[in-house]
Structure 1
Amino acid sequence: MAERVVDGWQAVRVRLREFWQLVDEVFGRVHGRALTNDLVLTALDGRTAAAALEDGEEPRTVWHALCDAMDVSDTRRFGASHRQAPPRR
């Protein structure tokens, strides 16, 4: 799959496995799992992150919504790897 460039950013897909790895790394395993199951996000039409993923929402969209709700800085959004954050859609 070819990556595309949007406004100077490489568009990188956040896969479901990577989503859960980031949740664990940024929020901690226990707290992160509680957030994804309990925190209702207005950006996801009043769904939790877990419900949005189950409904087929793209992991990248869910990740940004969760990070926005928790005021996670752009520098922390992609964990210790310090990868370039993909643009929002």
Structure 2
Amino acid sequence: MRLTEFWTRLEQVFGAAYARSIAADHSFAGLDDRTIDQAITEGVDTATIWRAVVAAYPDRVPARLR
């Protein structure tokens, strides 16, 4: 998954402002307690990051975006 697609999906699910907040402030267990921003900076594959988001918010992410 390209980084632009990742951000598009995150913004579709959470809205632009909240998506940026989640990326900066929420630590994900599926990312070894890193934030999205930290994981991206450290070179974690965006598909892996997206799977962590889906796992953390299963009721929020629609099936078409999983």
TM bracket (short chain) = 0.7 to 0.9
- Tell me how far apart the structure 1 counterparts of residues 43 and 62 of structure 2 sit (CA, whole Å): 25
TM-score (norm 2): 0.86
List alignment gaps of at least 5 residues for structure 1.
1-13, 79-84
Partner of 1:46: 33
Q: Determine whether 1:75 maps to 2:63.
A: yes
Q: Indicate the structure (1 or 2) with the bigger Cα radius of gyration.
A: 1
List alignment gaps of at least 5 residues for structure 2.
none
Q: Following TM superposition, where does structure 1 have runs of at least 4 consecutive aligned residues deviating by more than 3 angstroms?
A: none
Q: Where in structure 2 are the equivalents of 1:52-71 lying within 5 Å?
A: 52-71=39-58
- Tell me how far apart the structure 2 counterparts of residues 62 and 36 of structure 1 sit (CA, whole Å): 10
**How many residues are treated as equivalent by the alignment?**
65
Identify, as 1 or 2, the structure richer in helix: 2
Identity, % of aligned pairs?
32
Over the residues paired in the alignment, what is the CA RMSD in angstroms?
1.5
TM-score (norm 1): 0.66
